[in-house]
Amino acid sequence: MSLFDAYRRWRRERAASRWHVSEAQWRQAESALVFLEWLPAADRARLRELALQLLAEKQMTGARGFELTDAVRLGIALQACLPILNLGLRYYEGWVGIVVYPGDFIIPRRVTDEHGIVHEYDEAALGEAWEGGPVLVSWDDRPGAQDDVNVVLHEFAHKLDMANGATDGMPPLHPGMDRKEWARAFEEAYAGFRRFLDAGGEPWLDPYASENPAEFFAVVSEAFFETPLLVREDMPAVYEQLRRFYRQDPARCEQQWRAARPEPVTRRGASRAS
């Protein structure tokens, strides 16, 4: 670690120390995030500390009059930091804003087709990540409002994907990871998933994953943390690549957690607004 990195870390930890969060507040924020329950105690503590550092470093604002309560701030920060638990906040460098909407929002689109014709339209979205810019997420805690869609995990996975300058489903890989192995695992799984949908299959994975390789990476990253046993069972090669990239093994943690508290594994399969 360079002197500059050490100084930044010291400033971040110092700023985070100004937050005073009670155990009751943490529990309230975590109550809807079942997938955090199978984190080992030491990892849970590190995640909380990282969440405070994120809140100290980023600027979170509410849109359309949305009130950012402590529970909302902590809930978003915990989920945003889960993918980088063993990577560090440097993976979120280069931007500062997190904008929170009370529900879905409209994004104006401008697309030029293969004939050079420009098409402009409005698209409803639950989230959006901008390269070099903010992350936009919706926070609607009404029952059933966002069933089986984790907007925060999804958009922050896009942020990781963008870190190499392209949103293509391949984030910057760690030394020792093979780009060809990553590409093979994801391309085969993506193609197989699209064939499954085309054949009329009912997937456990959000069908939005079929949009393109970048969305496939983001949706599978959601599932990697929320339903890792399903990812490991259905896409073992993809799971292994994600395990190496995120430097976490949530399937093993979930397995141990469920061994102590057996219950059915919830399958996911919601559609998306965008």
Other CB atoms within 10 A of residue 156 CB: 28
Give the DSSP letter string of 83-100.
Answer: TTTTT-GGGGTT--EEEE
Element (H, E) at 112: strand 105-112
Give me the helices (H) in 68-226, please.
70-81, 151-162, 179-198, 213-226
Instruction: For residues 176 and 174, give the distance between their C-alpha atoms in angstroms, rounded to a whole number.
Output: 6
Q: What distance in Å separates the CA atoms of residue 137 and residue 128, rounded to the nearest whole number?
A: 7
pLDDT tens-digit readout, 57-79: 999 999 999 999 999 999 999 99
Q: What is the pLDDT of residues 222-262, one digit of tens each?
A: 999 999 999 999 999 999 999 999 999 999 999 998 888 76
First to last CA, the chain: 40
The pTM assigned to this predicted structure is: 0.85
At position 178, the amino acid (one-letter code) is D
Q: What is the mean pLDDT of the chain?
A: 85
Predicted confidence (pLDDT) at residue 271 exceeds the cutoff of 50: no
Measured in degrees and rounded to the nearest 5, phi and psi for residue 220 equal: -65, -30
Give the model's pLDDT for residue 231. Answer: 98
Q: How far apart are CA 251 and CA 265, in angstroms?
A: 12
Please give the pLDDT value at position 109: 55
